[in-house]
Chains A and B, each alone.
Chain A
Amino acid sequence: MAVVGFDFGTTNSLIAVIVADRAINALDEEGLPIPSVVCYEGGKTIVGKKAKERRSEAGLGIKGNVVSSPKMFLGQESIYVEGLRLNPIDVVSDVVKYVISQATANQYREIDTITHAVVTIPVDTNGRWRVALRDAFRRVGIGIVQYIHEPLAALYGFLRSQTDVTAALRHYNRELLLVFDWGGGTLDLTLCQLTNGMLVQIRNDGTSEVGGDHFDDLIRNEIVRRVLQDRGLDDTVKIQPDAWIRLLHRCERAKIDLSTRKSVEIYVPCFFPDMTDEDLQFRLTQEILEEITDPLLTKGLNRIRKVLNETDVAPAQIALCLATGGMVNMPAIKSRLHEWFGPQRVEVSEHTSTLIAEGAAWIAHDEVRLQLAKNVELLLARNSYLPVIKAGTAMPGEGDIHSSNFHLYCVDPRDGNAKFQLVSPVRPGVNILKNDVRIPLENLVVEVDAKAKLFQERLELDVSINDNLILTAHARSINKCDYDKKEVHDLEFGLTVADSDGGNKTDDTLLKISSRQRGELTIRSNIANRKDSKLVPGELLYEYAPEYFDRRLNPPEYQDRERLYYKPCSICGRASNDPLCQCSSKL
């Protein structure tokens, strides 16, 4: 019973398994992955290439009785396919079932029974989607051992496929690595750091707006427009119904051929059935292609730049830019990458269509566990941070939950609310300084008794992460019995590469942490995990313990300032900085 790597892609799906330190891919007879396309025809369910051939139009989604990329519908209650109401989970299950059957049907691969899989997912998925995907796999009898982001799987697969893994780890140790998967449906980006054998996600990003299918559609539509223009035809001209698909196919082909040729002839016979010259013929050059695709290319490349900017990382700091997915073979993309990162540091995988599945297979083979890359912290009063889940915590396997419980106090209940803010440092690892930048994850607010004394209101916080990588935080106030719950779906993770010493230390000097931007709001936490008077606002503390501010006891200066600044004038009742308050001069 094998644990396989399963790349359930937007455009194509693939299973890979490791046999004697080599990845074996369950490709079809043409050596290609299986299209993630399902066709429901006359009671039959057709999946893969045959379903794709039945498409009348290109693009993702539902076209007639064909569903392309069914995983994008996960999370929805139902979809309609030619009037037939279907559960998206069942449609996804059909694809999974077909891919599994193709993998096990071939006796020479000796994959007997598949019961578990490491499944890759895009970086911009939410927890609900992951829950639905797990359900879809479970319906076919496959348990998901763990989820892995596609770029992380690709990077792991790349490192594991090196001849000398140890040398590769040494070479890239403490370096920043950028991975992006530019496939038919999505562009997924991950900025990672390799530290002492551990791959840590620093920043993820992704979009489904610049996938390869969009390019193909764009090219196709533009060619048709130009041909119509050249021939003086308008868009009401009749076009053969299947001609669109044939043209799309030739555009896909042309896009690939133009990586080595300056121009290609796009020829689609019988395109305009009512015309004398019924064929579509167009000479597509590299320049025209770039002209057509430039907006999308720029949009995609800007996403890469955005990730680097947000993490304040210059392209020169990137030691490796690993590019996978069919789009990376476009000369325009390659040249831009070479321009930014240098040709030595850009690695365009030869196995672009299989690298992600192979990475997942290696992860399954090495039995590495996904770990939390960054602390999940709770902002406490006086801007201190309490780690509620530490970096390096292994993510739970199938059916498991990792949870923690915290007992807290309300330091300042005056506004009637206890405010919890979950944050995550920008810097990965556990060695985080107090003044390191944090990114807020979620806020929770529960009611407390505004009249309560200091530290009287008790609060509870439960934080858990489940096998769908959803972090759930429950906050409760014991006295008021109020309750709040929030979820975080987009955590960042790390992987320990096999043949390494492991560890999750980060080199603090490498990553410049950008300071907080001006005007950015932050919550003023009023909770604490211990009874410490130093945490209480000065003006409030003065009400309960004025003796605390006896000069002889050396009270903290900041609390004394608060007391003076925020406590209203006892004579006129105005705020201390009110210019109308002249009472101090009268004393």
Chain B
Amino acid sequence: MSGNDKVTIKDKKTGVITEGKPARSQGRQSCKGNHSNNLSTAEVTITATSASPPSSKKITSQKLESIVDFIDFAYKRKGQRIDSSKLKKDFVKLEPSERRRLLEFARADILLAVPVQLLFVVREITNQTMKNTLRDFIRDVLLAHPLFSPIELIDTVKNLPDALMPAAALKRVAQPEAAILDEIVFNGEKLSKKESSELCANAVSCLALWFVENRALSIQQVTQDLFDSFWEPSCKEVIDDTEILRCLISINSMNAGVIGRIFAQSVSKKARIAESALKEKDRLQQCHAQLQTENANLKAIISERDMRIQALGDELATEQQRHRETRIHLYEDMNSLRGRLLRRLKSGTELLTDGLQALRRNPPKIAVMEDHAERALEELKIEIEQLGMEQ
């Protein structure tokens, strides 16, 4: 295909046929320097060559006999939608030599128009082996592109642990460093502003689809991420209502409807989540208030019990002290009584012993015994009386 071939564009709604700009000749892309995936420092040049894809068959009626043919066909479509039914079930194998050749070929698609369509095909096919083959190829295509040369993007495409979050990666790709863009040469020239925009848009699309495919990102999430990282930053130049109306009028209705619906669903879902969260918050607040009340009640109960325990402890200490004092007093009384009785008994015994000794004398000294016995008896009587009084 020459660089002067124009593309026919038919508006499905209106039926108007127009001619688009000539398609870029996607010749062989040559890289200077090493052939590693990290191309951030290598200068990439794309030369429009006459190197045509190996197959010279017509696009519309090409017979696809292998996955190579399919990929080749995809690239010939130059970013147009690809019918996934053309991909046969047995198109699973991609030899390394063919792979290399296709990658060389893919380098001509500097604007990354084709990987987007290939990714849609990957979504549509069900054969897992085929999916993996195509996905691997697309990954290699992306990694070979200078726009994905920063190490963070390489990690992101490879889904490594240090990969960027989807929104951050999309933003990085949507707004690449000027130095990277400057290094991309197309047909011996640097990319124009429009080409840069198109490249960034395709790259964002690729990455978004890549996330959907490889990280199971939801439609709502990828839509939000695209909005945050690509669409919303793009509309900063719109400054007044007239410009806003122009955008609204010129917008593609179906696309707007789809996106609007997605956003509406997202909003609705978030509203539901918010409502649910509010309800849960109310419930938790009620629960919290109830628990606080219970906590306060328990604290009051514990405090009362602590005071009661303290009071009982004091009472116990007082009782113990009283018991100790009573014990001492009782012992004192017992000792006093015992001592008194002992004295009385000893005294009585002494008297009676002397009396007995006097009685045993020859002649017996009866007066002594009489006196001593009387005294001993008197003492005992006094003691008995005293014990009776103390009772």
Contact = CB atoms under 8 A, between A and B. Distances in A.
B325 A20 contact: yes
A296 interface: no
Interface stretch (A116-124, A127-135, A232-240, A256-264): A256-264
Contacts of B335: 27, 31, 108
Given A22-B329, A110-B324, A261 B375 contact: yes
A264 B358 contact: no
Contacts of B324: 110
Given A260-B378, A265-B368, A279 B358 contact: yes
Contacts of B294: none
Given A110-B328, A265-B371, A281-B365, A253 B347 contact: yes
A496 B338 CA distance: 36
Nearest to A278: B361
A19 B325 contact: yes
Given A267-B365, A269-B354, A269-B358, A20 B375 contact: no
Contacts of B347: 253
Nearest to A253: B347
A22 B358 CA distance: 45
A265 B367 contact: yes
Contacts of A260: 378
Given A279-B361, A281-B365, A31 B328 contact: no
Contacts of B378: 260-261
A9 B372 CA distance: 31
Contacts of B288: none
Given A32-B343, A265-B367, A269-B357, A108 B372 contact: no
B275 to A, nearest CB: 75
Contacts of B328: 19-20, 24, 108-110
Size bracket of the A interface: 20 to 34
Contacts of B354: 267, 269
A543 B97 CA distance: 151
A28 B365 CA distance: 35
A550 interface: no
B331 A279 contact: no
Contacts of A257: 375
A253 B354 CA distance: 13
A252 to B, nearest CB: 11
A30 B331 contact: no
Interface string A378-397: 00000000000000000000
Nearest to A270: B357
Given A24-B332, A260-B378, A269-B358, A30 B346 contact: yes
A19 B329 contact: yes
A164 interface: no
A267 B325 CA distance: 45
Contact of A267 (B331, B342, B368): B368
B112 to A, nearest CB: 98
Given A29-B342, A32-B343, A110-B328, A281 B375 contact: no
A31 B334 CA distance: 10
Interface in A279-326: 279, 281, 283
B100 to A, nearest CB: 103
Contacts, number: 72
Main secondary structure of the interface of B (DSSP, over half): helix
Nearest to A269: B357
Contact of B329 (A20, A263, A281, A283): A20
Given A20-B329, A108-B328, A257-B375, A27 B339 contact: yes
Nearest to B363: A277
B336 interface: yes
B340 interface: yes
A180 B303 CA distance: 60
Nearest to A263: B371
A343 B148 CA distance: 128
Nearest to A24: B332
Nearest to B365: A281
B380 to A, nearest CB: 14
A24 B328 CA distance: 8
Contacts of A110: 324, 328
B269 interface: no
B362 to A, nearest CB: 10
A31 B340 contact: yes
B329 A29 contact: no
B190 interface: no
Contacts of A25: 332
Nearest to A20: B325
Interface in A2-32: 19-20, 22, 24-25, 27-32
A108 B372 CA distance: 37
Contacts of A19: 325, 328-329
A381 B361 CA distance: 81
B367 A30 contact: no
Nearest to A267: B368
Contacts of A283: 367
Contact of A29 (B327, B339, B355, B371): B339
Contacts of A267: 354-355, 358, 365, 368, 371-372
Contacts of B355: 267
A502 to B, nearest CB: 28
Contacts of B339: 27-32
A281 B336 CA distance: 34
Contacts of B371: 263-265, 267
A411 B356 CA distance: 83
A554 B329 CA distance: 76
Contacts of A31: 335-336, 338-340, 342-343
Interface in A159-183: none
A108 B336 CA distance: 13
Contacts of A269: 354, 357-358
Contacts of A108: 327-328, 331, 335
Given A20-B325, A108-B327, A269-B357, A281 B342 contact: no
Residue of B327, B329, B371 contacting most chain A CB atoms (<10 Å): B371
A110 B325 CA distance: 9
Interface string A97-108: 000000000001
A28 B325 CA distance: 20
Nearest to B336: A31
A297 to B, nearest CB: 24
A22 B328 CA distance: 10
B385 to A, nearest CB: 13
Contacts of B338: 29, 31
Residue of A263, A265, A281, A283 contacting most chain B CB atoms (<10 Å): A265
Contacts of B365: 267, 279, 281
Contact of A281 (B325, B331, B368): B368
Contacts of A263: 371
Interface string B348-391: 00000011011001000101100110010010000000000000
Interface string B312-346: 00000000001011011101100110111011001
B354 to A, nearest CB: 5
Contacts of A32: 339, 343
A263 B368 CA distance: 12
Given A269-B357, A281-B365, A30 B325 contact: no
Contacts of B327: 108
Given A25-B332, A27-B336, 10 more contacts: A24-B328, A32-B339, A108-B335, A109-B328, A261-B375, A261-B378, A265-B368, A265-B372, A267-B372, A269-B358
29 contacts: A20-B325, A22-B332, A24-B328, A29-B338, A29-B342, A30-B342, A31-B335, A31-B338, A31-B339, A31-B340, A31-B342, A32-B339, A32-B343, A108-B331, A109-B331, A109-B332, A110-B324, A257-B375, A260-B378, A261-B375, A261-B378, A263-B371, A264-B371, A264-B375, A265-B372, A267-B372, A279-B358, A279-B365, A283-B367
Across the A-B interface, the 8 shortest Cβ-Cβ residue pairs: A31-B339, A265-B371, A20-B325, A108-B331, A267-B368, A30-B339, A30-B343, A265-B368
